[in-house]
Amino acid sequence: MKIGEASRLSGCHIETIRYYERVGILSPTVRSESGYRCYADHHIQQLRFILHARELGFSVDDIRELLSLKEQPDLSCQAVDSITDKHLHGIRNRIKYLESLARELRRISASCPGGDIAECRILEALGNSSD
């Protein structure tokens, strides 16, 4: 099948499919006489895997590694767990960071009486280095 159908079946944009091939997480395809990429079922499977992993926020590098591990069924899945844990850890850190930002913004915003710019506490707070 050609890239258009692969796109419809996998849910990946055409340009993204070509991108995944370029960065080496999607296996290269056979080419037709005219140079069109020809996709097989396993490509669709791969694309769905990639898409789902991306939806869960895994990086392309993580996915490369996950796909490579997938090819070695006899290995312990500890490496997979480790990638997942690291990723989860990263997400939790980002959440904590964003929560602290939100708290701080809320605090600053609440302190502003809402009159003229001259008395705006938000701008004032931004002007002061560490408050």
* 103: partner contacted, choices its own copies, DNA, none (Cβ within 5-8 A by kind): none
What is the per-residue binding string for its own copies in 51-70, x denoting contact by CB under 8 A? xxx--xx--------x--xx
Place of tokens 């898409």: 51
- Positions touching DNA (CB under 7 A) are 2-5, 7, 13-16, 18-19, 23, 32-37, 54, 59-61
Place of tokens 């929560």: 99
Cβ atoms of 44 and 9 within 8 Å: the answer is yes
In the bound complex, what is the minimum distance in angstroms from residue 15's beta carbon to its own copies? 21
| Cβ-based nearer residue to its own copies, 31 or 106 | 106
- Candidates 22, 64, 62; CA nearest to 46 is 64
Angstrom distance (rounded) from CA 121 to CA 125: 6
In the bound complex, what is the minimum distance in angstroms from residue 79's beta carbon to its own copies? 8
Q: Binding of its own copies at residue 41 (CB under 8 A)? A: no
Collect contacts of 34-38 with beta carbons under 8 A, ≥24 apart: 36/2, 36/3, 37/2, 37/3, 37/6, 38/1, 38/2
**Binder to its own copies among 16, 48, 60, 65 (CB under 8 A)?**
48
What is the per-residue binding string for its own copies in 99-118, x denoting contact by CB under 8 A? x-xx-xxx-xx--x-xxxxx
